[in-house]
Amino acid sequence: MRLKNKIAVVTAAGQGIGKAAALAMAREGAQVWATDVNADLLAGVADVPNVKTAALDVLDKAAITRFFSGLGCVDVLFNCAGCVHGGTLLEATDRDWQFAYDLNVRSQFWTIQAALPSMLAARSGSIINMASVAGSSKGLPNRFIYGTTKAAVVGLTKAVAADFVKEGIRCNSISPGTVDTPSLQERINSQEDPEAARRMFVARQPMGRLAQAHEIAPVVVFLASDEAAFVTGQNYAIDGGMTI
């Protein structure tokens, strides 16, 4: 029970990596708040021991403030919510740019700002932010907006880590390679030739396969736990060798 007595909040826990991480933290004894903008998706984790659910849109600052002030104490915050925009700089629109920054970056600024006071009072806390292999570690084709937002997450993470390292707060990011989640399947299905699109995603993974969400979750558990007590400001690649 590596997370016994810890209260953890996970955003975008309705499916994919957020759900897998919420379940893994609950198995390790954490009291997990699984949150998602889509309350229907949370039904899938509602009856799991140690898991409580709450609808939370990370684009809504007032809702975030309300949610965290209602919680009191938070030990672990996993900022998982994010979206992928396809295309190069030439196709990028101001609207997509703004939306991606709001969801992938500004939401983390808001949730961390809301969670930090209780962490500072306890002089302890672990924040884990979702970045991506696309961004600061690697440029991927057709991921212009996405890559810039995810690089910003790495910068945000290091800034928070540096500011609060003396107060017992740790802040790290994770950078998965391509993970077989519902949103990836949607991106594949939206292509003219979905089978070719899936082959392309697999081909860019040196291991010749996609990751499963449960293969990302153990790193979140580690960073959340006291085993990572001396780890802060780092970006963890979980990319099946994409950045060798």
Residues catalogued as catalytic: 146
28-87 residues in contact with ligand NAD (CB under 6 A) are: 36-38, 41, 57-59, 80-82, 84
Considering the rule CB under 6 A, would residue 179 count as an interface residue with ligand NAD?
A: yes
End-to-end Cα, the chain, rounded Å: 33
Only one of the segments 12-20, 26-34, 92-100, 159-167 lies at the binding site for ligand NAD (rule: CB under 6 A); that segment is: 12-20
Judged by CB under 6 A, the number of residues near ligand NAD is 29
Find the binder of ligand NAD among 6, 16, 45, 129 (CB under 6 A): 16
Tell me how far, at minimum, the Cβ of 84 lies from ligand NAD, in Å.
Answer: 6
Asked if residue 18 lies in contact with residue 11, where contact means CB atoms within 8 angstroms, the answer is yes
Closer CB to ligand NAD, 7 or 12, in the complex? 12
What are 24's two structure tokens? Answer: 């893994």
Give phi and psi for 84, each to the nearest 5.
-110, 125
x/- track of binding to ligand NAD for residues 141-160 (CB under 6 A): --------------------
Q: Which residues inside 97-126 make contact with ligand NAD, applying CB under 6 A?
A: 103
In the window 184-213, what residues touch ligand NAD (CB under 6 A)?
184, 213
DSSP assignment of 161-223, as one string?
HHHHGGGTEEEEEEEE--B--HHHHHHHHTSSSHHHHHHHHHHTSTTSSPBPGGGTHHHHHHH
Task: Name which of 83, 79, 81 is nearest 112 in CA terms.
Answer: 79
Q: Which is nearer to ligand NAD, 136 or 168 (CB)?
A: 136
- Supply the minimum distance, in Å, between the C-beta of residue 25 and ligand NAD: 15
Residues 14 and 38 sit within 8 Å (Cβ to Cβ): yes
Span of 1-9, 112-120, 136-144, 174-182 interacting with ligand NAD by CB under 6 A: 174-182
Q: Rounded CA gap, 175 and 185, in Å?
A: 19
190-199 burial, b if ≥16 CB within 10 A, otherwise e?
eeeeeeebbe
Binding stretches for ligand NAD (CB under 6 A): 11-12, 14-18, 36-38, 41, 57-59, 80-82, 84, 103, 130, 132, 176, 178-179, 181-184, 213
